[in-house]
């Protein structure tokens, strides 16, 4: 009986050590996978910042000014005004 208890304890210890080794190897794999995803996230974040900066420069007035100069637009606009709007503008509502 005593021998059976000793054998059971040793088997339990061996099973726990084996399970610990398996879980340790599995956690190392998960750590590597997490590291891969973190590097991908960092790369995507950097690309996102670059694209935001590019969009900002494309929507800026400076960019519009540069394009207007390339297309030979004049700086001074010649607005056209209506002299008498007539029906379109009702003075007495």
- Give a yes or no: residue 93 inside a domain: no
Domain total of the chain: 1
pLDDT in tens, the chain (93 residues): 788 888 999 999 999 999 999 999 999 999 999 999 999 999 999 999 999 988 888 887 887 788 888 888 766 666 666 665 555 555 555
Domain that holds residue 68: 11-72
Q: 48-61 burial, b if ≥16 CB within 10 A, otherwise e?
A: eeeeeeeeeeeeee
Distance CA 65, CA 58 (A): 11
Residue 58 lies inside a defined structural domain of this protein: yes
In a domain, 5, yes or no: no
Residue 82 covered by a domain: no
């Amino acid at each position: 009986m005593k021998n059976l208890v000793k054998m059971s304890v040793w088997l339990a210890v061996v099973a726990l050590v084996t399970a610990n080794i398996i879980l340790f190897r599995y956690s190392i794999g998960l750590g590597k996978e997490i590291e891969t995803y973190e590097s991908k996230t960092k790369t995507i974040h950097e690309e996102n910042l670059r694209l935001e900066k590019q969009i900002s420069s494309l929507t800026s007035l400076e960019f519009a000014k540069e394009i207007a100069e390339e297309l030979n637009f004049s700086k001074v606009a010649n607005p056209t005004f209506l002299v008498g709007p007539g029906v379109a503008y009702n003075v007495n509502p």
